[in-house]
Structure 1
Amino acid sequence: MAISDLKLPEGVTAHTFKSPVILAEGLALRVAEQLNDAITQQGSATLVVSGGRSPVAFFQSLIKHPVDWLKVTISLADERWVPVEHADSNAGLLKKHLLQGPAAKARFIGLYNVAASLEAAAEQADHTLAELPPIDVLILGMGDDGHTASLFPNSPHLLEALNPDDARRCWPMLAPTVPHQRLSMSRSLLASAKHTVLSIQGQAKLNTLSDALGGTDIAALPIRAFLQPTLEIYWCP
């Protein structure tokens, strides 16, 4: 099965690339253009990215493009509730692979904070995200289980976090894999992005996407909440 075989909702577009490297380069070029357009139009730009290892090549390619990073704010769609120095920290990953060279001038708004509990950390992150300007570009990933950001099936608070009318910006979430404790932007905040890209690799994730397109239960496959008009899907085998 290829992505061209999928029946995508009206307004959703898909792009196929031959390899992860070519996908990363194509996505970086697109995002750099969108950031520069936002800076030209409004004087600043906001980029929200997903963590994990998959986006590293994209990060490394993006910082090679000319962008006025001093006018860019960067944040994370989700975070593992571990210190920045921890190997699993998404903020640590960004500092190593994205916030480098000229891109180090960007303003970074992270989700992690020291708190007595995950719930308290999510409340604090919710307050912090009040400082986040409107999102111009959002890059989402997706797991084989259909989660995106850290909106995992069967996680407590999932239905609240997926409520499009809930104004809360960040929710505590539990992942099935270590580290279990996560912080995730809410559906309402993520869906407010001007441009959204879903970047995925491999046949397994394409199969999950196909399943997501074939149903409506967003709690079972949270990615369904984001298969909306204007979404761009970047995929490679």
Structure 2
Amino acid sequence: MTAQPIRHADSKALHEAVVARIGAALRAGVAGRGQAVLAVSGGKSPVPIFEALAALELPWDRVTVTLVDERLLPTDHADSNEALVRRHLLQREAAAAAFIGQRGDAASLDAAADAADQALATLPQPFDVIVLGMGEDGHTASWFPDGDRLGEALDLDGKRLVLPMVASSAAAVPERLTLTLPVVARAGLVLLPLEGAGKLRTLERAMQPGPLTEMPIRAALRHAHAEVHIAG
């Protein structure tokens, strides 16, 4: 089980701490092997982190940014994670970073997952930083409790980096692409910033014993080098 959450006075302090942790890890990655990899999640919560990170002076030209998960949507769709990252992170200083998405121009979910798996296999492993999010149902990435390939995604012995996932609970877009647990578990640093009473209650439940498939965030908490940052 992960260490106890790191509590910050407010959202601003949480964002500053997470940005500082990401920056330090990326600098260390570039210093150690000449390049670094950052995988990020979508949603509204990470936007302030993205915008602060974009202004940070880093060797961005030696950083590759990729996604933790993606919806099967056109890459310019307002709800695509790639579009979110391009709008809020790959700007200013961070515009120099390389980017590898998951959706591409593939005609099907399986084809998109295969292409993303092959593309991410060209990156140095393990990834330096992965920033996760969490839903109030206990999902993270696109590891939904009702996901059709959840067991495969959470298999620590699995060889895939990216899998397709279909989950009826996944809001308006049930067809997803997602990193697998082995990728997350190997990462040098996994950050989980959380705000709001609902998510903190979910975290409390997730930190209790129980099946990974019931609350998939448990897989990251138990098997990754995870830091949980909370505000309030």
Q: Which residue of structure 1 lines up, in the alignment, with residue 209 of structure 2?
A: 215
Specify the alignment match of 1:6 in structure 2.
none
Q: Structure 1's 184 and 217: CA in aligned 2 closer, same or farther, altered over 3 A? A: same
CA contact (8 A) 1:13 1:230 kept: no
Runs of 4+ in 1 over 6 A off after TM superposition: none
Q: Any unmatched runs of 5+ in structure 2?
A: none
User: Which of 153, 159, 166 matches 1:174?
Assistant: 166
Equivalents in 1 of 2:129, 2:138: separation in Å? 21
Whole-Å separation in 2 of the counterparts to 1:116 and 1:49: 24
Aligned residues with identical type, % of pairs: 41
Aligned match of 2:118:
127
1:13-59, Cα deviation, whole Å (9 max, x unpaired): 42112322321122111111111122122221111111111100000
**How many angstroms does 1:207 deviate by?**
1.2
Determine whether 1:108 maps to 2:103. Answer: no
1:118-150 CA-partner distances (Å, limit 9, x unpaired): 122212221122112220111111110010011
CA distance in 1, matches of 2:4, 2:97: 29
Do the aligned residues in 1 keep the contact of 2:55 with 2:94 (CA within 8 Å)? Answer: no
The residue that corresponds to 1:64 in the other structure is 55
Tell me, in whole angstroms, the C-alpha distance in 1 between the residues paired with 2:113 and 2:187: 21
Question: Contact 1:12 / 1:230 at 8 angstroms: preserved in 2?
Answer: no
Equivalent positions of 1:22-61 (< 5 A) are 22-61=13-52
Shift of 1:83: 1.0
Residue pair 1:88, 1:179 contacting (<8 A) in 2 also: no
Return the match for 1:84 from 64, 71, 75: 75
Asked if the contact 1:172–1:184 (Cα under 8 Å) also holds between the matched residues in 2, the reply is yes
| Partner SS for 2:6 | strand
1:184 aligned to which of 178, 183, 187:
178
Unaligned regions of 5+ residues in structure 1, if any? 1-8
1:146–1:223 contact (8 Å) kept in structure 2: yes
- The yes-or-no answer on 1:98 pairing with 2:89 is yes
Match of 1:19 in 2: 10
C-alpha separation between the residues in 2 aligned to 1:160 and 1:125? 17
Instruction: Choose from 171, 190, 193 the match for 1:199.
Output: 193
Answer whether contact 2:37 2:64 (CA < 8 A) is retained: yes
**Equivalent position of 2:221 in the other structure:** 227
Distance 2:155 2:198 in 1: 27
Cα 1:215–1:99, aligned 2, differ >3 Å: closer, same or farther? same
Q: Deviations over 1:184-219 (max 9, x none)?
A: 011111211011111111121111111112123011
- Deviations 1:89-138 (CA, angstroms, capped at 9, x unpaired): 11111111000012111111110123332122212221122112220111
TM-score (norm 1): 0.91
Q: How large is the RMSD of aligned CA atoms in angstroms?
A: 1.4
